[in-house]
Amino acid sequence: MTADPLLRMRSITKSFLGVRVLHGVDLDLYPGELHALVGENGAGKSTLMKVLAGVHRADEGTVELDGTPVSFDHPVRAQRAGVATVFQEFNLLPERTVAGNVHLGREIRRRGRVDVRAMERATGDLLDELGLEGISPRAKVRSLSVAEQQVVEIVKALSQDARIISMDEPTASLADHEVEVLYRLIGRLRERDVALLYVSHRLKEIFDLATTITVLKDGQRVDTVAAGDIRPAELVRTMVGRPVSQVFPDRLEARGEHVGKVRLDVRGGGNEQVDGIDLTVRGGEIVGLAGLQGSGRTEIARALFGMDRFTRGEVRVDGRRVDPRSPRRAVRAGVTLVSEDRKTQGLALNQSILANGRLALDAVWPLGTRRRSRRLPAIFGSLELVARGGHGQEVRFLSGGNQQKVVLAKWLAAEPGVMVLDEPTRGIDVGAKQAVYRLMRELTAEGVAILLISSELPELIGMSDRLVVLDEGRVADELPGGSDEEAVMALATGAPPEQEPGRSPDRHGPHSSGAGPGENGPRSQHEGAAP
Amino acid sequence: MSTDRTGPKHAGPRRGPWSFLSGGTGTVALLLVVVFAVIATQNPSFFEGPPLMSFARMAAPLVLLAVGQYFVIVSGEFDLSVGSLVGAQVVVAARLIDGDEAMTLPVMGLMVAFGLVVGLFNGLVTTVLKVPSIITTLGTMLILFGAVRYWTGGAPTGALSESFRLPGRGGIEGVPYLGQLPYALIIAAVAAAAAVWLMRSPYGRCLMAVGDNDVAAAFSGVRVWRVRTAAFVLSGLMASVAAVLIGGFSGVTAQVGEGLEFTAITAVVLGGVLLGGGRGTVVAAVLGALSLEALFTLFTQLYLPATIQPTVQGLIIIAAVAYASRRGDLRLPERLRRRTGPPTERPLGTSRR
């Protein structure tokens, strides 16, 4: 590019609660270009996008638009400056028409009244121009499909003269034929010299659409390359490549009475999302559930914990058949779940550390609470839970890592035989991660059976004794712990390992309308990058 | 790192014996002291035993209702039916007793049972049928209000027996300094103490957690519907006891109980127990009730008309909640809060999954 960049972000740094999520990131956007932002879960893609959108403020660094420094402290400011963002959740009023939404807050007025006709005409013109005749400006937004709603968001951005549009996982919830519409629209946007910032986990899309690719990793920019200069396999390596320092604690000597005995046994488990799940976890063992987003990992966890149910097959815990119809029953049977979303599912944020820690005891064994809760301070201590206000402190004031420790303590107090850990280290700092890993080793040594779910493949591989790989709700195969990432990914994507993701012969350029993103080729979505 | 915390130390360093005065409890305690001080300047004899006891007798029903309302509010719900329930109880009791002393105890038993049933109804409709409690209890309020008027033909008939009126009016005579120690004070104190104890039990901690985050509570094994229903039942029970006191104290009129639900909610809010649930103490709710009653007493002393009370209540509710939300510890219920979130959190009606 010879021209000056439309947008120039320099050394953007952002921390949340002391955890640095962006570390001096640079980014340039040029008109007519699609700049893809790739990286694993937690690499900082969404945060960077939100800094641009004015949702978050950068702690350090500058943003220049057309060479003028800008600072967006509110999303509306960013929009006025021509920076529009299409988030995964839309900002549309379902009961209004397409035209009404496009002109929301900037209604065309004539003699003091809203001129509906003029708005519909303007919206219709814009839709025609973009080749989107299928959408009527008069349709109510609620009657539109998800893809059409997304189009309305983009049209809305354009009608506000957006020169930069950033999209967060725009295809995440689109059907294949709908992706096609988006591809076409992106082509038109580029012809109009709009600069696009695009976050996606699907490498195929990135290679279909992007002109430039920036790889983020652990909040830092690893590389920015022209899309033509890198092969998909290389890109994956850049994304995954890990510092050698990441080590997992060694296994401890087993000492519990349950070590080696089958503690969790699922035979032919199935419901609407998963089918034919056979799973055995022994005391002292960590079994990792690997698979892409939507492959059924979390669904299995939910079914085991009674949030959903297996409608087929049987579950045995310590040899006894159980039917966990509710979390309560699961806990009684000795199964606990550390869910992936601790703030909404794991903690009562306004209650004290102690109250949260003993909640499961209070709820499930109200009579034995006193005796069992005596162990809590020791559990907090062994987890190295650090709270300035002591155990009476409300958990909302704790960091993510310490909050997760409270959730873990709650379940440890219940003395479970089987622990399902769904993303136990998500969003917590390195030190807390190590504490969680050490805890897992200690628990297994005592004979607890652990089922681990994680989007971070190295963690899954490094911690698990065995890996059960899921693909589309079924068990694809089982691998020993320490298998390499590519073997796991190959199974999870249902593709032989040699096949390169992306560049398949039937690929079309981003400009050719009717390009076929819809073919069910191997989804080159890297698991570690799942949201 | 945590070496200093590994011992069996439950509370942190900042929790002293007066820790219950921190936050909302301290504020409302201060308010109560201020109102009492103003009353004392107006009427120096207020703190001489008998006037104080007559204040306690008047405040007792509100304390009971506030404690009942506290359970419901802390679980994240509302109970608007208590005022109508008290009215219905008194009117029904008068008609059934009709001056017959022998009927006193059976009718009291019936009132308690009736209160429990109404609470159970409120609770089950809210938790099982998923009707928002503000609607459920508004409905119950109207149902009771209408049913009682239909049954009595508009004007209450019958009379309460003397022994029925004893708890509301009587007391233990000959107590030094105080003169007469009202039964109402004893009943309210016992109820408040029981509530404090209950909130420290596993049930109370579950109730608190449910009000804070019912999803997390359910995922911890709490039977949310049971816990919430029980809170409504407790509120119904408290309303029944309050009805006995109110009936005894002020007798039977068509207006008895009117507006009490809002007075109780005001008292609880004044105590800093936040609408939306999960925070606040029983003591704060009780102090809120006492402050409110003291404020009303002050108005009487200043010769302000009693008709201004609802206006004051309205101002108090708004001011108290605004104060709490300025301090940043107000938590609106999820459904109200979502509107103000950043754009990413604003969902469109249609599901994306």
Which helix or strand (DSSP H or E) is residue B158 part of? none
Nearest CA in chain B to A74: B342
Residues B221, A327: C-beta atoms closer than 8 Å: yes
Q: Which two tokens stand for residue A402?
A: 């310490």
Asked whether B248 and B166 are in contact (CB, 8 A), the reply is yes
Q: Is there a contact between A349 and B279 if contact means CB atoms under 8 Å apart?
A: no
Tell me which of A410, A425, A449 is where a domain ends. Answer: A410
**Pairing state of beta strands A195-199 and A164-168?**
parallel
Residues in chain B closer than 8 A to A88 (CB atoms): 344, 352
Q: Verify whether the Cβ–Cβ distance B345 to A89 is below 8 Å.
A: yes
Beta bridge partners of A352: A394
Task: Answer whether A377 sits within 8 Å of B5, measured CB to CB.
Answer: yes
> Look-up: residue for tokens 């080729």?
A521
Q: How far apart are the C-alpha atoms of A304 and A125, rounded to whole Å?
A: 53
Test mutation, A331, A350, A370, chain B, max B CBs within 10 A = A350
Residue A396 sits in the same domain as residue A442: no
Q: Phi, psi (5° rounding) for residue A167?
A: -125, 130
pLDDT category at A195 given cuts 50, 70, 90 is: very high
Q: Which residues contact A147 (CB under 8 A, 6 or more apart)?
A: A174, A175, A178, A179, A181, A182
- Judged by DSSP in three states, A36 sits in strand
How far is Cα B212 from Cα A344, in angstroms, rounded to an integer?
A: 10
CA nearest neighbour of A402 among A457, A455, A327, A352: A352
Could you tell me if B310 lies within 8 Å of chain A, comparing CB atoms?
A: no
Instruction: Among A95, A146, A380, select the one facing B352 at the smallest CB separation.
Output: A146
Q: For residue B69, which amino acid is it?
A: Q
Residue A86 lies in a domain: no
Q: Is B200 in CB contact (< 8 Å) with chain A? A: no
- Show the tokens assigned to A314: 């049987």
Whether the per-residue pLDDT at A163 is higher than 80: the answer is yes
In whole angstroms, give the CA distance from residue A255 to residue B90. 67
- Nearest residue, CB atoms, B220 vs list A141, A344, A410: A410
**Quick one: which of A41, A65, A29 has its CA closest to A213?**
A29
CB contact under 8 A, B346 and A89: yes
B84 close to B206: Cβ distance less than 8 angstroms:
no
Give yes or no for residue A355 having a pLDDT over 70.
yes
Tell me how many domains chain A contains. Answer: 2
Instruction: Indicate if A524 and A440 belong to the same structural domain.
Output: yes
In one-letter notation, the amino acid at residue A174 is L
B216 interfacial to chain A (CB closer than 8 Å): yes
Residue A42 lies in a domain: no
Q: Rounded to whole angstroms, how far apart are CA atoms A176 and A523?
A: 12
CA dist A476 and A473 (Å) reads 9
- A477 shares a domain with A428: yes
Contacts of A385 in chain B (CB under 8 A): 2, 5
Distance between CA atoms of A530 and A507, rounded to whole angstroms? 23
Can you tell me the distance from the alpha carbon of B312 to that of B292, in angstroms, rounded to the nearest whole number? 10
What whole-number distance in Å separates Cα of residue A485 and Cα of residue A483?
Answer: 7
- Collect all residues with Cβ–Cβ distance below 8 Å to B230 and sequence separation of at least 6: B123, B203, B207
Q: Given CB atoms, is A75 within the 8 Å cutoff of chain B? A: yes
Structure tokens at A145: 């499909």
Find, in chain A, the residue whose alpha carbon is nearest to that of B221.
A328
Q: Hey, is the C-beta of B340 within 8 angstroms of any chain A C-beta?
A: no
Q: Based on the fold, state whether residues A473 and A454 are members of the same structural domain.
A: yes
Domain co-membership, A490 together with A420 = yes
A479 belongs to a structural domain: yes
Please report how many Cα atoms fall inside a 13 Å half-sphere around the Cα of residue B24, on the Cβ side: 29
Q: Please tell me whether residues A421 and A522 are part of one structural domain.
A: yes
Q: What are phi and psi of A45, to 5 degrees?
A: -60, -50
Three-state SS annotation for A17-33: CCEEEEEEEEEEECCCC
Task: Tell me the mean pLDDT in the region A193-213.
Answer: 85
Is some CB atom of chain B closer than 8 A to the CB atom of A332? yes
- Strand pairing report for A34-39 and A19-29: unpaired
Q: Which two tokens stand for residue B150?
A: 């239909």
Instruction: Pick B330 or A493 by higher pLDDT.
Output: A493
CA pair distance B35, B43, nearest whole angstrom: 12
Other beta carbons less than 10 A from residue B336's beta carbon? 11
pLDDT given for residue B71 in this prediction: 95
Q: What is the enclosing helix (H) or strand (E) of A290?
A: strand A286-290
**Torsion, Cα of A150, A152, A154, A156 (10° steps):** -150
For residue A497, the model assigns a pLDDT of 45
A366:B12 CB<8 A: no
Asked if residue A438 and residue A513 are part of one domain, the reply reads: yes
Minimal Cβ distance to B1: which of A55, A88, A384: A384
Best-predicted range by mean pLDDT (A178-192, A346-360, A512-526, B104-118): B104-118
Domain range spanning residue A443? 262-334+416-498+507-529
Query: Residue A188 falls within a domain, yes or no?
Result: no
Strand A164-168 and strand A19-29: the pairing is unpaired
Q: How far apart are CA A440 and CA B208, in angstroms?
A: 30
Instruction: Write the pLDDT tens digit of every residue in A15-74.
Output: 876 667 888 899 999 998 999 988 766 678 888 888 888 888 888 888 888 888 888 888
Q: Where are the alpha helices (DSSP H) in A446-484?
A: 457-463
Cross-strand pairs, A482: none
Last residue of a domain, one of A410, A425, A446: A410
DSSP string for A341-388: -IIIII--TTSBHHHHHTHHHHHH-TTSHHHHHTTHHHHHHHTT---T
Q: Please name the helix (run of DSSP H) or strand (run of DSSP E) that holds residue B344, with its range, or none.
A: none
Chain B contacts in chain A segment 363-422 (CB below 8 A): 363-364, 366, 369, 374, 377-378, 380-381, 384-387, 389-393, 410
DSSP state at residue B5:
G
Q: Which residues of chain A are within 8 Å of residue B10 when distances are taken between CB atoms?
A: 354, 377, 391-392
DSSP string across A159-209 = HTT-SEEEEESTTTT--HHHHHHHHHHHHHHHHTT-EEEEE-SBHHHHHHH
Instruction: Specify the CATH number for the domain of residue A307.
Output: 3.40.50.300
B59 CB contacts (<8 Å, ≥6 apart)?
Answer: B188, B289, B290, B293, B294
Residue A471 lies in a domain: yes
Does the beta-carbon distance from B223 to A75 stay under 8 Å? Answer: no
A328–B221 C-beta distance less than 8 A: yes
pLDDT-based confidence at A514, cuts 50/70/90? Answer: very low
Structure tokens at A153: 């968001």
pLDDT for B280 equals 85
3-state secondary structure of B173: strand
Interface of B with A in 279-298 (CB under 8 A): 279
How far is the alpha carbon of B44 from chain A, nearest alpha carbon, in Å?
A: 42
Per the listing, tokens 């990992």 go with A297
Does A349 lie at the interface with B, CB-CB under 8 angstroms? yes
Across the interface, do B219 and A350 touch by the CB < 8 Å criterion? Answer: no
For residue A16 the two structure tokens come to 């949340």
Residue B347: left (phi > 0), alpha (psi -120 to 50), or beta? beta
- Helix (H/G/I), strand (E/B), else coil: A525: strand
Chain A to chain B, count of Cβ pairs less than 8 Å apart? 163
Question: Are residue A493 and residue A383 in the same domain, yes or no?
Answer: no
Final residue before a domain boundary, out of A380, A410, A440: A410
CA distance linking residue B225 with residue B129, whole number of Å = 10
Please check whether residues A405 and A425 belong to one and the same domain. Answer: no
Tokens 């001011």, residue located = B319
pLDDT, residue B240, reads: 95
Chain A contact present for B223, CB below 8 A: yes
Q: How far is A371 from chain B (nearest CA, A)?
A: 13
Which of A275 and B340 is assigned the larger pLDDT? A275
The answer to whether the beta carbons of residues B141 and B81 sit under 8 Å apart is yes
Q: In this structure, are A376 and A461 located in the same domain?
A: no
Chain A residues with CB-CB distance to B333 below 8 A: none
Six-digit token string for B353: 């999954």
Task: Give the lowest-confidence range in A125-134, A187-196, A352-361.
Answer: A125-134
Which residues on chain A are in Cβ contact (under 8 Å) with B213?
Answer: 344, 347-349
User: In DSSP terms, which residues pair with A12 in a beta bridge?
Assistant: A25
A421/A464 same-domain check:
yes
The pLDDT value recorded for residue B75 is 93
Residues 114-153 of B with CB under 8 A from A: none
Find, in chain B, the residue whose alpha carbon is nearest to that of A344. B216
Q: Min CA distance, A374 vs chain B (Å)?
A: 8
Task: Report the chain A residue with the minimal C-alpha distance to residue B210.
Answer: A348
Question: With 50 as the cut, is the pLDDT of residue A522 above it?
Answer: no
Helix (H) or strand (E) holding A124: helix A116-129
Q: Per the structure block, which two tokens stand in for B58?
A: 């008047």
Q: Is A311 part of a structural domain of the chain?
A: yes
Roughly what angle, to the nearest 10 degrees, separates helices B260-270 and B82-97? Answer: 130
A449 forms bridges with which residues in the sheet?
A418
Which tens digits make up the pLDDT trace of A430-443? 677 888 898 899 99
Q: Does B208 touch chain A (CB under 8 A)?
A: yes
Tell me if residue A289 falls in helix, strand or coil.
strand
DSSP at A250? P
User: Is B4 in the A-facing interface, judged by CB distances under 8 Å?
Assistant: no
What span, in angstroms and rounded, lies between the C-alpha atoms of A421 and B125? 35
Element (H, E) at A279: strand A277-282
pLDDT at A173: 66
Interface mutation target, options A171, A332, A359, chain B, most CBs of B under 10 Å:
A359
Residue A405: partners with Cβ closer than 8 Å, 6 or more residues away: A380, A383, A384, A385, A432, A435, A436
Q: Is B130 left (phi over 0), alpha (psi -120 to 50) or beta?
A: left
Tens digit of each residue's pLDDT, chain B (353 residues): 333 333 333 333 344 445 555 556 778 888 899 988 998 888 888 888 888 888 999 999 999 999 999 999 999 999 999 999 999 999 989 988 888 888 889 999 999 999 999 999 999 999 999 999 999 999 999 999 999 888 888 777 888 888 888 888 888 887 787 788 899 999 999 999 999 999 999 999 999 999 999 999 999 999 999 999 999 999 999 999 999 999 988 888 878 888 899 999 999 988 877 777 778 889 999 999 999 999 998 888 888 887 888 888 889 888 888 877 766 554 444 333 333 333 333 333 333 33
Q: Which two three-digit tokens encode residue B242?
A: 């309050």
Q: What is the pLDDT of residue B340?
A: 32
Tell me the torsion sign for CA atoms A89, A94, A99, A104.
negative
Residues A272 and A398 in one domain: no
pLDDT band at A528, cuts 50/70/90?
A: very low
Residue A189 has pLDDT above 70, yes or no: yes
Give φ, ψ of A218 to 5 degrees: 50, 40
Q: What's the gap between Cα A328 and its chain centre?
A: 28
Q: Is position A276 within any domain?
A: yes
| Cα–Cα nearest to B292, from B253, B329, B319, B328 | B319
The whole-chain average pLDDT of chain A stands at 81
Going by C-beta distance under 8 Å and a sequence separation of 6 or more, which residues neighbour residue B125?
A: B131, B136
Q: What is the pLDDT of residues A363-409, one digit of tens each?
A: 888 877 777 778 888 888 888 777 767 788 888 878 778 888 899 99
Tokens for B6, please give them.
């590994």
Closest alpha carbon to A44 in A17, A21, A70, A64: A21
Name which of A351, A353, A354, A365 to mutate to probe chain B: the one with the most chain B Cβ atoms within 10 A of its Cβ: A351
Residue A121 inside a domain? The answer is no
Q: Kindly identify which residue of chain A lies nearest to residue B211, measuring between CA atoms.
A: A348
Q: Is A346 on the interface with B (CB under 8 A)?
A: yes
